[in-house]
Amino acid sequence: MEATKHSVSIVERRRAELDGILGILAFDDGYISLDTSLGKLVIEGEGLRVENLSKESGKILLVGTVNSLYYERKKEKRSRG
């Protein structure tokens, strides 16, 4: 199975277009957590809202003020030995 491509485009911190979205994990007007093909993506800001979401294509359009975005690392299990 081919991996879904992931991209993020932010226009003047007021609009974010994203591809490769597998689902919305959590959201409110200041925080959106997304499951992407490259891991968990967190977007923080003000007045954030989902303007458009297509589960079939994996695209999402967010509007509001984007203050930051970051990917969370997957925690690796440590072996005890």
Whether residue 65 is predicted with pLDDT greater than 60 in this model: the reply is yes
Number of domains in the chain: 1
Task: Give, as one character, the DSSP assignment of residue 81.
Answer: -
Residue 80 lies in a domain: no
Query: Scanning the structure block, which residue is given the tokens 């979401």?
Result: 53
Q: Provide the residue range defining the domain that includes 44.
A: 7-72
Condensed to tens digits (0 to 9), the pLDDT of residues 11-47 reads 999 999 999 999 999 999 999 999 998 999 999 999 9
- CATH number where 25 lies: 2.60.40.2000
Distances (CA, A) of 71 to 34, 54, 75, 76: 9, 21, 12, 15
pTM, rounded to two decimals: 0.83
Phi, psi for 4 (deg, rounded to 5): -75, 130
Q: Which of 36, 42, 32, 41 is nearest to 19 (CA)?
A: 36
